[in-house]
């Protein structure tokens, strides 16, 4: 029972273009969502988050959109840079429960 799903295992984008990573969830009780970035041989690092009371959160080149009715969130990276090449995980939590649920990850490759 995969409660958080990232259906694209990989994504390739040209440098300077927009990268869009998608994530779907099934548990309507989730009320906080996060995106993490992971380089090889390192732990995941926090990128951006969004509360369920919002539908958009922006931080520099990164924007997360939340569509609660569709149980879908997406991460937009604009413009994409070579250093953005990494595995991206979306995660969801019911605040107060302290149990973060992760998607399978999407490997993003930015081509020069």
Nearer to another protein, 42 or 112 (CB): 42
- Minimum distance of another protein from residue 27's CB (angstroms): 13
- Minimum distance of another protein from residue 43's CB (angstroms): 3
- Minimum distance of another protein from residue 50's CB (angstroms): 10
Long-range contacts of 25-30 (CB under 8 A, 24+ apart): 25/71, 25/72, 25/73, 25/92, 26/1, 26/2, 26/71, 27/3, 27/92, 27/94, 27/101, 28/71, 29/94, 30/3, 30/92, 30/93, 30/94, 30/101
Print the binding letters for residues 16-55 with another protein: x by CB under 8 A, - otherwise.
Answer: ----------------x-x-x----xxxxxx--x-x----
**Sign of the C-alpha dihedral computed for residues 102, 106, 110 and 56 taken in this order:** negative
Site membership for another protein, residue 75 (CB under 8 A):
no
For another protein, the binding residues in 80-99 under the rule CB under 8 A are 89, 91, 93, 95-96, 98-99
Nearer to another protein, 79 or 104 (CB): 104
Element containing residue 66 per DSSP (H, E): strand 62-67
Site membership for another protein, residue 4 (CB under 8 A):
yes
């Amino acid at each position: 029972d995969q409660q958080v799903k990232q259906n694209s295992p990989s994504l390739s984008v040209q440098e300077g273009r927009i990268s869009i990573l998608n994530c779907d969830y099934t548990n309507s009780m989730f009320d906080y969502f996060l995106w993490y970035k992971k380089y090889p041989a390192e732990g995941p690092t926090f990128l951006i988050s969004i509360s369920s009371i919002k539908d958009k959160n922006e931080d520099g080149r990164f924007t997360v959109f939340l569509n609660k009715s569709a149980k879908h969130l997406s991460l937009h990276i604009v413009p994409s840079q070579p250093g953005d090449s990494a595995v991206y995980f979306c995660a969801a939590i019911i605040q107060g429960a302290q149990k973060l649920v992760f998607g399978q990850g999407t490997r993003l490759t930015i081509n020069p």
